Amino acid sequence: MRSCAILWILKKLINSQSKMQTEPNQARGIQLMLLGSMLLPFMDAAAKTLGESLGSSSIVLARFVFQTLFLLPFVWHTLYVPNKEELSIHIKRSLGLSIATLLFFTSIQVMPIVDALAVFFVMPLIVTLLAPWVLGETVGWRRIAAVAIGLIGAVMIIKPSQALFGIHAILPLGTALSFSFYIMYTRKLARTNAEGEAQPVPAITMQFWSGLIGSIIMLIAIVCLQPLDLSVFNFQWPEAWQWQRLVLVGLIAAIGHLILTNAFKYADASILAPFQYVELIVAAILGWYLFNDIPTVTTVIGTLILVASGMYIFKRESVVAEK
């Protein structure tokens, strides 16, 4: 009964994707952003509990496989074969997401979810720095200054003086870097369709391809890296309770990202950006309740600096776009 209700919600979200929103509704967009941001930490928590017995690569593989299976019935009638250029972008986008997810799921096995997530939120700063080279966008000195201040907050969270934590913090930093490429290639797909015309590829289609290609990438990685006996890539057949949580990870990934995608149909990114940081609050609560992880004072201060820098960058981008 519960799975039927979840699939009904998924169907409603996908149906709403097909209806173009012509009038902005900021309240609706904020509500969806809050809902999606509150939902996704539960996926991270489920992955953290699974990481005690399964390799991170197996969890990521299941996340992509189940996401693909959940979305397939809803996108089947609109699927098309991408041309060579679009397929190349889909592959690069999926590779970025695959690496990001693998690194993040690995990082939360050795550090609190909220700490890993806080370091991950350097991602808007990295996108700002890479945008001129990848997207040809112009970045002014104000956003560069915001990036520099945000990196100070990241250093406070990473605590490079503490060797062990500093090494672990490289994982969510790698997550942020990989996810930045995923975001930038998503922007590219959002600007052109399969024929190269100025019409965006539907978000639901992008999510399906990222799930399918991500599944292939992770399967190849697991098979090829088995001889190295790396714990991250070790594969074992899940038990019954593990299958249940793997399905949950895939469901939350599919529904959560659809909710967030819908939010941007109702309001601009500059308006919604501050509300995505509620994810940090939910992650902190779950970390305390499930794993007895309590954020340190430096983590809180560093996170506040990162959030302020990210919010300024989003705001500045909206000002530049209006000129």
> Residue 92 corresponds to which tokens in the numbers above?
């690069």
Distances (CA, A) of 208 to 155, 271, 279: 36, 27, 24
Nearest residue to 186 (alpha-carbon basis) of 120, 268, 97, 106: 97
pLDDT value at position 60?
Answer: 96
pLDDT value at position 9?
Answer: 43
Tell me the pLDDT of the chain (323 aa) as tens digits: 333 334 444 444 445 544 444 456 778 888 888 898 899 999 999 999 998 889 999 999 999 999 999 989 888 888 888 888 889 999 999 999 999 999 999 999 888 888 888 888 777 677 667 766 655 666 666 777 776 777 677 667 666 545 445 566 788 888 988 988 887 787 777 665 544 455 677 878 888 999 999 999 999 999 999 888 888 998 889 999 999 999 999 999 988 887 877 777 777 666 676 777 788 888 888 988 999 988 778 778 877 887 787 777 666 666 655 55
Nearest-angstrom CA–CA distance, 188 and 195: 13
Q: Would you say 194 and 200 are in contact if contact means Cβ atoms under 8 Å apart?
A: no
| Beta-carbon-side half-sphere exposure of residue 257 (alpha carbons within 13 Å) | 22
pLDDT value at position 15?
Answer: 53
Nearest-angstrom CA–CA distance, 135 and 129: 11
pLDDT value at position 21?
Answer: 43
pLDDT value at position 199?
Answer: 62
